[in-house]
Amino acid sequence: MSERAFPNNCPYCAETDLFPREDGWECRACLRAFSLKYLGMIERGGGAR
Ligand SMILES: [Zn+2]
């Protein structure tokens, strides 16, 4: 498992122009910077669907 999750798309504009920065990622399409946070494990089969 990699230490840092790699986002496939920008969560704000859905573009793929993402570049890593020291505290997260930046989107060159909408010029937003963001970070992905690991929140923990979920229980299998326990969620609403
Ligand atoms: Zn974006």
Residue 4 lies in a domain: yes
Tell me the residue length of the chain. 49
d(CA 43, CA 20) in angstroms, rounded, equals 30
Please give the distance of CA 25 from its chain centroid, rounded to a whole number. 8
- Indicate whether 20 pLDDT > 60: yes
Whole-number Å distance, alpha carbon 6 to ligand 1 midpoint, is 14
Residue 43 lies in a domain: no
Whole-number Å distance, alpha carbon 28 to ligand 1 midpoint, is 7
Residue 24 lies in a domain: yes
Give residue 48's pLDDT.
63
- Using only C-alpha atoms, the chain has a radius of gyration, in whole angstroms, of 13
**21-48 pLDDT tens trace:** 999 999 999 999 999 888 999 888 866 6
21: domain range?
A: 1-36
Those residues with Cβ within 8 angstroms of residue 11's Cβ, 6 or more apart along the chain or in another chain: 34
Whole-number Å distance, alpha carbon 36 to ligand 1 midpoint, is 14
Residue 15 lies in a domain: yes
Q: How many domains does the chain have?
A: 1
Whole-number Å distance, alpha carbon 7 to ligand 1 midpoint, is 11
Residue 41 lies in a domain: no
